[in-house]
């Protein structure tokens, strides 16, 4: 059953003991799916004017946490009635040999990107930041992923199937079908874009179960 999305009318009817409204500050369909699959009711509010950063002086974990914090704080600041809301900001990046592998600009870039990862291991970092009820907290999740080695023809066939241009690292963990991911260490949902195991525990601290 799909998660029910609360509306502005829920805010107006909410009393002082009302269950807080969870707001996802992300347009990612994969994050929406993960939250819904785990039974959370939520709204999506993508903040305006937030640009992701990747400065050289920050570690991978510091980078994703800074981006998640900026998204959550910006979305929270845009709420008309923030006292009833818990805002969740997330940033997930693929790191390989000390560099961020973002979303490919075109199919040639996607092929070059996944060819670099082919048969090798990389890390997926997620920064998560939660704002609401007069407090903030965040965490970093890291998953190590190892790919099978595939031929160039197999890589091109895979890319044609998954449509990689909106995917960091040019691959789709949620739709892998055993084609690329040989093994992983850590949270698999983190590779998809939202580390649900740790997130569930953190949300309980904000009254969201």
Please list the active-site residues: 91
Phi, psi of 184 (to 5 degrees): -150, 155
- The helix (run of H) or strand (run of E) holding residue 155 is helix 152-162
- The helix (run of H) or strand (run of E) holding residue 7 is none
Q: Strands (DSSP E) along the chain, which ranges?
A: 21-24, 42-44, 85-96, 99-101, 121-132, 135-147, 181-185
From residue 105, how far is each of 112, 161, 168, 174, 192 by CA, in Å?
Answer: 11, 17, 11, 21, 20
Written as six digits, the tokens of 66 are 């800074």
Instruction: Check if the beta carbon of residue 56 is closer than 8 Å to that of residue 32.
Output: no
Written as six digits, the tokens of 185 are 């260490």
């Amino acid at each position: 059953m799909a998660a029910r999305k609360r509306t502005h009318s829920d805010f107006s009817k909410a009393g002082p003991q009302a269950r807080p409204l969870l707001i996802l500050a992300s347009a990612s369909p994969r994050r929406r799916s993960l939250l819904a699959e785990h039974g959370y009711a939520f709204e999506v509010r993508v903040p305006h004017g937030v640009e992701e950063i990747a400065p050289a002086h920050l570690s991978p974990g510091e980078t994703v946490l800074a981006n998640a914090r900026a998204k959550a704080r910006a979305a929270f600041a845009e709420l008309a009635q923030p006292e009833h809301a818990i805002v969740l900001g997330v940033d997930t990046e693929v790191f390989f040999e000390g560099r961020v592998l973002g979303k490919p600009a075109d199919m040639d870039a996607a092929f070059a990107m996944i060819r670099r990862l082919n048969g090798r291991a990389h890390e997926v970092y997620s920064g998560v930041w939660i704002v609401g009820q007069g407090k903030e907290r965040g965490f970093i999740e890291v998953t190590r992923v190892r790919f099978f080695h595939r031929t160039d023809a197999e890589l091109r066939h895979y890319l044609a199937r998954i449509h990689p241009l909106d995917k960091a690292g040019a691959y789709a963990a949620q739709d892998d079908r055993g084609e690329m991911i040989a093994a992983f260490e850590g949270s698999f949902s983190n590779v998809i874009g939202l580390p649900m195991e740790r997130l569930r525990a953190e949300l309980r601290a904000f009254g969201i179960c």
